[in-house]
């Protein structure tokens, strides 16, 4: 009961903070740093809903707010590509979970591409691609694309076992 009370209190505090942040975003000339901070908070709210409550529909509402505040993929610095790619992969999974397969696949592919660029530039380890490849394998399998599913599954398995992927 104490944990539920603390969780409820945390949700109320977060809601108040997000409300204040949302209000500040309506002001003219919002600094990009503030807008990006809001995007990160919106994303964090969505990921909590998706992972702790499996509420992907509500998570998507927060993700949409996050994506409207975060920089576009072409504006992301090299140092943030891996993190932003991971974010997009997770958002893609929520879309997929509510049968919005086209958007789920699009976001997962876009996130995977960012992580691949981060790997290529030495910003994140290659094993950071294991989860995106596993997700793409499962998505392709569900769509009946067996060859693509097997290819991604093979790459994910090699990364999970610690074996580098040869390109």
Separation CA 13–CA 151 (nearest Å)? 45
Would you state the pLDDT for residue 46?
Answer: 92
Q: Is 105 within 8 Å of 96 (Cβ atoms)?
A: yes
Residue reference for tokens 């809903």: 49
Would you state the pLDDT for residue 18?
Answer: 77
Is it the case that residue 2 has pLDDT exceeding 80? no
Q: For residues 82-90, give the mean pLDDT.
A: 97
Separation CA 124–CA 80 (nearest Å)? 10
pTM (whole model) above 0.85:
yes
Would you state the pLDDT for residue 167?
Answer: 47
Per-residue pLDDT tens for 92-135? 999 999 999 999 999 999 999 999 999 999 999 999 999 999 99
Per-residue pLDDT tens for 123-163? 999 999 999 999 999 999 999 999 999 999 999 999 998 87
Would you state the pLDDT for residue 4?
Answer: 61
Is it the case that residue 166 has pLDDT exceeding 70? no
Is it the case that residue 25 has pLDDT exceeding 90? no
User: Please, which pLDDT band fits residue 1 given cuts at 50, 70 and 90?
Assistant: low
Per-residue pLDDT tens for 36-84? 989 998 999 899 899 988 999 999 999 999 999 999 888 899 999 999 9
DSSP string, 97-166: HTT-HHHHHHHHHHHHHHHHHHHHTTSS-GGGGHHHHHHHHHHHHHTT-HHHHHHHHHHHHHHHTTPPPP
């Amino acid at each position: 009961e104490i944990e539920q009370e603390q969780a409820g209190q945390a949700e109320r505090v977060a809601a108040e903070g997000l409300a204040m942040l949302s209000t500040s975003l309506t002001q003219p000339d919002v600094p990009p740093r503030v807008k990006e901070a809001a995007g990160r908070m919106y994303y964090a709210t969505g990921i909590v809903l998706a992972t702790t409550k499996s509420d992907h529909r509500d998570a998507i509402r927060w993700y949409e707010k996050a994506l409207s505040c975060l920089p576009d993929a072409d504006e992301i610095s090299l140092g943030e590509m891996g993190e932003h790619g991971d974010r997009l992969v997770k958002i893609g999974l929520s879309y997929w979970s509510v049968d919005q397969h086209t958007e789920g696949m699009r976001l997962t592919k876009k996130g995977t591409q960012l992580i691949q660029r981060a790997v290529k530039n030495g910003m994140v380890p290659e094993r950071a691609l294991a989860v995106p490849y596993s997700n793409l394998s499962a998505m392709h399998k569900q769509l009946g694309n067996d060859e693509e599913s097997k290819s991604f599954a093979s790459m994910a398995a090699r990364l999970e076992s610690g074996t580098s992927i040869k390109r």
